[in-house]
């Protein structure tokens, strides 16, 4: 089920008024620097991330308007070193490749997809990891060309080994592609849904619907953040 609807303006007010560091995660992080983790605040309202940080640089209209391109780094999968691998290497690769393609398709509707750092470009790194207090290490990286967002995703009818009940986190770090300055960061559970339903996804098509819904959620958040009036809220992934 999707979260209740959010208003980005309310989210920014809450983020500004909450005590610094009150939302810092109690679980391990894969990609967020410690100083950014300390600034994370709980998201409030519908479609808000579980945790959020926004730099002062992009809080005003001028800062937001300065970015019209997005460079999506290959999405990464992290795991504790000693954790059992419940997904095969092939399934982990399929998950990341599909995730990357669907995210590029969705964000490419509103932004130019950049192939290299340049002015006016925000760079985003997504990481998938389990909710854990153990240290995590890089396990798998998406193998998708940035120039080909129309690449086909795996959507066969084979039973997916991914368990919806898995407590997965999605971290995202947004930076200026030229300077490397951190512009924002988010942490989401369950691909932005309140929870997963059922014991197992029936097939990869169902997994892809969750990935597509998360990509649409990210596009919606960016749309509202920029103050546009044509933002379409994402629907529940499995209807």
* Residue 49, in any domain of the structure: yes
In the prediction, which pLDDT does 37 show? 95
pLDDT at 63 over 90: no
Over residues 188-210, mean pLDDT: 73
In the prediction, which pLDDT does 145 show? 62
In the prediction, which pLDDT does 25 show? 56
| Low-confidence winner among 16-25, 87-96, 128-137 (lowest mean pLDDT) | 16-25
Over residues 18-47, mean pLDDT: 78
Rounded percentage of the chain residues whose pLDDT exceeds 90: 43
- For the record, the structure tokens of 131 come out as 């909710």
In the prediction, which pLDDT does 162 show? 65
* Residue 176, in any domain of the structure: yes
* Residue 239, in any domain of the structure: no
Over residues 68-91, mean pLDDT: 87
In the prediction, which pLDDT does 215 show? 94
Other beta carbons within 10 angstroms of residue 13's beta carbon come to 12
pLDDT at 157 over 60: no
pLDDT at 170 over 60: yes
Report which of 110, 107, 184, 178 is spatially closest to residue 149, judged by C-alpha positions: 107
* Residue 236, in any domain of the structure: no
pLDDT in tens, 44-54: 888 899 999 99
Angle between helices 204-225 and 89-107 (to 10 degrees): 40
pLDDT at 198 over 60: no
In the prediction, which pLDDT does 233 show? 86
* Residue 74, in any domain of the structure: yes
Confidence of residue 158 (pLDDT cuts 50, 70, 90): low
* Residue 235, in any domain of the structure: no
Over residues 113-126, mean pLDDT: 94
pLDDT at 1 over 70: no
Q: Which domain holds residue 112?
A: 8-225
The per-residue pLDDT of the chain, averaged, comes to 80
Is 39:21 a contact under the CB 8 Å cutoff?
A: yes
Whole-prediction pTM value?
0.82
* Residue 204, in any domain of the structure: yes
In the prediction, which pLDDT does 164 show? 52
- Per residue, the 3-state secondary structure of the chain, as one string, reads CECCCCCHHHHHHHHHHCCCCCCCCCCCCCCCCHHHHCCCEECCCCCCCCEEEECHHHCCHHHHHCCCEEEECCCEEEEECCCCCCCCHHHHHHHHHHHHHHHHHHHCCCCEECCCCCCCEEEEEEEEEECCCCCEEEEEECCCCCCCCCCCCCCCCCCCCCCCCCCEEEEEEEEECCCCCEEEEEEEEHHHECCCCCCCCCCHHHHHHHHHHHHHHHHHHHHHHCCCCCCCCCCCCCC
Angle between helices 8-17 and 204-225 (to 10 degrees): 70
The count of domains in the chain is 1
């Amino acid at each position: 089920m999707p979260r209740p609807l959010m208003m980005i303006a309310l989210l920014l007010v809450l983020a500004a008024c909450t005590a610094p560091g009150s939302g810092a995660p109690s679980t391990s992080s894969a990609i967020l620097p410690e100083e950014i983790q300390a600034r994370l605040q709980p998201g409030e309202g519908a479609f808000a991330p579980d945790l959020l940080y926004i730099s002062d640089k992009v809080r005003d209209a001028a800062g937001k308007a300065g970015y019209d391109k997005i460079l999506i780094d290959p999405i990464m999968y992290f795991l504790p070193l000693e954790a059992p691998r419940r997904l095969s290497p092939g399934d982990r690769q399929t998950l990341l490749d599909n995730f990357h393609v669907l995210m590029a398709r969705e964000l490419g509707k509103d932004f130019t997809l950049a192939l290299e750092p340049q002015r006016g470009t925000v760079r985003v790194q997504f990481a998938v990891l389990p909710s854990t207090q153990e240290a995590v290490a890089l396990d798998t990286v998406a193998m998708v060309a940035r120039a080909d967002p129309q690449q086909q995703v795996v959507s066969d009818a084979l039973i997916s080994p991914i368990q919806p009940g898995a407590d997965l986190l999605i971290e995202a770090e947004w930076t200026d592609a030229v300077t490397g300055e951190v512009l924002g960061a988010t942490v989401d559970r369950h691909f932005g849904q309140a929870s997963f339903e059922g014991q197992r996804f029936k097939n990869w098509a169902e997994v892809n619907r969750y990935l597509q819904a998360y990509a649409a959620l990210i596009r919606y958040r960016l749309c509202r953040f920029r103050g546009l009036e044509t933002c379409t809220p994402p629907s529940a992934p499995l209807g």
